[in-house]
A = this chain, B = another copy of it.
């Protein structure tokens, strides 16, 4: 007889859904669509030559180790390099504070696995990163949304949320995905204090921290937490779990990211990773280390910044020119995304349907709001498309929006 699979799945599986973003990524594979939907880096900035040299060097010098099983924590020289980099730019850590993961999505999954019992609350910004919601939905999380503005989470509204007793606070402080907002220094300090007051850990997700195009770098939440606590004797043991990634600086196809956290949390994360996939590709860790060890990333990030700054500027200029005055949007100081806000009565998902006919795509904002709302919002990526495509795509979107507003106006007569 046929196996009735649907009745055999666990409770968590019944709630699984495919991501709007991932489904839309399929559209970006049609060559005639201009897609602002995905969150892809520009392939033009991938350091292909450096990868080629690194692959050859790794296979020549470390073939037997790089192709073999490895330790769950990650390749030690890579962890030490990340620790040195973190100590220089953010907070004093050692390799014992670092775990290598297969992309930051895996770190989000492990954090859910470590902390979330079914029904536990997690504090998020509204809107927040969809991938985090997907990861934690699998563990039965519920969400308390705290409103955000152009300076990130409105921390004055956080205290009420903390009194609910959430498992942790999730925050993407730099050039947030999806909104592009950056948490101000004052709010970061308040966040650290409030989290300490209520004993609630902070998950700081920072994929874009180095992709700043204007203004001054703001200290990371983990470094402010460390200062708040005072000298830590060389390795970090505070209240923040910090995530970052090579996906935006080197290449997402490697699936290489890391967690910096107190050693006792790292030890639990290592156990979670052991059960989940043993370890991240040793070969990719060797190759990333080989590419990065001589300081290459410091130079390479300048190329990425210049490329994305130009694309952001072109997108903003074109929106100023082509979008109807009823539509508003953020002007992010870095990262890969900006956030559009349509008039309340418009539904971005309906706009997308028309936009796709015109061969341009974006992500409607609903999915970034775990507790509903945001139907009139949308996320636009500016890192992936080339300048000409951005000009053409924003022109098409402008035309679409004007027509839909016109039609709506007619309907209301």
Contact = CB atoms under 8 A, between A and B. Distances in A.
Interface of A: 1-6, 8-13, 16-19, 22, 25-26, 38-41, 43-44, 46, 48, 51-52, 55-56, 59-60, 63-72, 102-103, 105-106, 109, 113-117, 120, 131, 134-135, 137-139, 167-168, 196, 199, 201, 237-239, 247, 251-255, 262, 264-265, 268, 270-272, 274-284
A396 to B, nearest CB: 24
A3 to B, nearest CB: 5
A25 B64 CA distance: 16
Given A68-B252, A69-B253, A9 B115 contact: yes
5 smallest beta-carbon distances between A and B, as pairs: A67-B251, A43-B64, A253-B282, A55-B55, A48-B63
How many copies of this kind of chain does the complex include? 2
A257 B99 CA distance: 23
A18 B270 contact: yes
Given A1-B199, A10-B139, A201-B8, A67 B283 contact: no
Given A5-B262, A46-B63, A71-B25, A255 B279 contact: yes
Given A1-B196, A102-B102, A284-B283, A67 B254 contact: yes
Contact of A11 (B66, B109, B117, B138): B117
Given A1-B196, A59-B55, A64 B40 contact: no
Contacts of A251: 67-68, 283
B265 A281 contact: no
A102 B247 CA distance: 17
B68 A59 contact: no
Nearest to A72: B22
9 contacts: A5-B265, A5-B268, A8-B115, A8-B167, A41-B68, A105-B277, A254-B281, A255-B278, A276-B276
A237 B64 CA distance: 40
B268 A10 contact: no
A314 B56 CA distance: 35
A375 to B, nearest CB: 23
Contacts of A120: 10
Contacts of A6: 264
Contacts of A22: 71-72, 274, 278
B5 A106 contact: no
A89 B259 CA distance: 42
Given A46-B63, A115-B8, A277-B105, A283 B254 contact: yes
Contacts of A4: 199
A68 B253 contact: yes
Nearest to A10: B117
Contacts of A255: 102, 277-281
A222 to B, nearest CB: 13
Contact of A268 (B13, B26, B254): B13
A168 to B, nearest CB: 8
Contacts of A109: 275-277
A188 to B, nearest CB: 18
A235 B66 CA distance: 36
Contacts of A254: 67, 281, 283
B63 A201 contact: no
- Residue of A12, A278, A279 with most partner-chain B CB within 10 A: A278
Nearest to A202: B3
Contacts of A11: 117
Given A9-B115, A255-B277, 16 more contacts: A2-B237, A3-B199, A3-B239, A5-B201, A5-B265, A11-B117, A13-B272, A19-B274, A25-B71, A43-B63, A55-B55, A55-B56, A103-B277, A105-B277, A131-B275, A251-B283
Contacts of A113: 10, 12-13, 138
A134 B274 contact: yes
